[in-house]
């Protein structure tokens, strides 16, 4: 099987987590060969070839406490089932720990260094004006809390490199997916949520008085 990993925009994180939704094989280029010959889709069934699906699993890289600051690590996993088949197989397939075959692993820094770009993660907020002029922008404490809430959903992927290992891990996942869910080496720290400002307590009589006395 020959795969072209799709652009990052193809991966959707609609659950607000560090692991993407499953994407179907129609969203990435791939083909199969047997010996030196291409296997056309019309011959897939005869060659015991089925559909596949893919997921991106992200977490902090183990070197995130270094001088360069935090880094994100990404693992792309492929599964020998379509998205519908994965959903029908078990609810546990939604877990980031559901075993897959690793086809790509990479890391990047969170922001561009002074020296060079090195494919960092883009800034989270680009307001186009100073924060003091962005009246509806959340407080920095609330932003930190929300970032932490997302980053703390991270789990390590169960990445396999052979069909035998994948079969063994699938059997384990089917029995108890939680046993496979492991925290990354480095986790994002918790952040307290911003507490809304409390208004001045006013009784009903005081409110009536203030709105009737000129």
Alpha helices in the chain (DSSP H): 83-89, 140-151, 163-175, 204-212
How many alpha carbons lie under 13 Å from residue 76 in its C-beta half-sphere? 18
pLDDT of residue 118: 58
- CB within 8 A of 150, min separation 6: which ones? 16, 17, 18
Please give the distance of CA 108 from its chain centroid, rounded to a whole number: 14
Question: Which pLDDT score, from 0 to 100, does residue 53 have?
Answer: 96
How high is the pLDDT of residue 204? 52
pLDDT at res. 60:
94
Distance of alpha carbon 56 from alpha carbon 172, whole angstroms: 21
Tens of each residue's pLDDT in the chain, 214 residues = 999 999 888 999 999 999 999 999 999 999 999 988 999 999 999 999 999 999 999 999 999 988 878 889 999 999 999 999 999 999 999 999 999 999 999 998 877 666 665 566 665 666 677 777 777 778 888 888 888 999 999 999 999 999 999 999 999 999 999 999 999 999 999 988 877 666 555 555 554 544 454 4
pLDDT at 214: 46
Domain ranges of the chain: 2-123+157-186
Does residue 110 contact residue 121 with C-beta atoms inside 8 Å?
Answer: yes
Nearest in space to 151 (alpha carbons), one of 187, 203, 195, 182:
187
Confidence at residue 144, expressed as pLDDT on a 0 to 100 scale? 86
Contact status, residue 119 vs residue 137, Cβ threshold 8 Å? no
Q: What is the pLDDT of residue 182?
A: 95
DSSP 115: S
- Residue 133 has a pLDDT of 78
């Amino acid at each position: 099987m020959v795969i072209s990993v799709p652009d990052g925009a193809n991966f959707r994180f609609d659950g607000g987590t560090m692991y993407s939704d499953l994407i179907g094989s129609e969203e990435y280029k791939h083909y199969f060969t047997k010996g030196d010959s291409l296997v056309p889709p019309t011959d897939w069934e005869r060659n015991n070839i089925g559909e596949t699906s893919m997921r991106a699993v992200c977490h902090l890289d183990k070197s995130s406490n270094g001088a360069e600051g935090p880094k994100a690590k990404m693992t792309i996993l492929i599964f020998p089932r379509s998205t519908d088949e994965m959903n029908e197989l078990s609810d546990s397939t939604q877990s980031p720990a559901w075993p897959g075959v690793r086809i790509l692993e990479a890391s990047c820094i969170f922001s561009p260094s002074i020296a060079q770009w090195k494919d960092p993660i883009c800034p989270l907020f680009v307001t186009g004006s100073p924060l003091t002029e962005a009246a509806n922008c959340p407080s920095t404490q609330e932003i930190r809390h929300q970032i932490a809430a997302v980053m703390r959903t991270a789990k390590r992927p169960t990445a396999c490199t052979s069909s035998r290992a994948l079969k063994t891990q699938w059997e384990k996942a089917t029995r108890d997916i939680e046993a496979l869910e492991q925290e990354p080496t480095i986790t994002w720290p918790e952040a307290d949520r911003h507490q809304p400002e409390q208004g001045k307590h006013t009784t009903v009589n005081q409110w009536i008085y203030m709105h009737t006395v000129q």
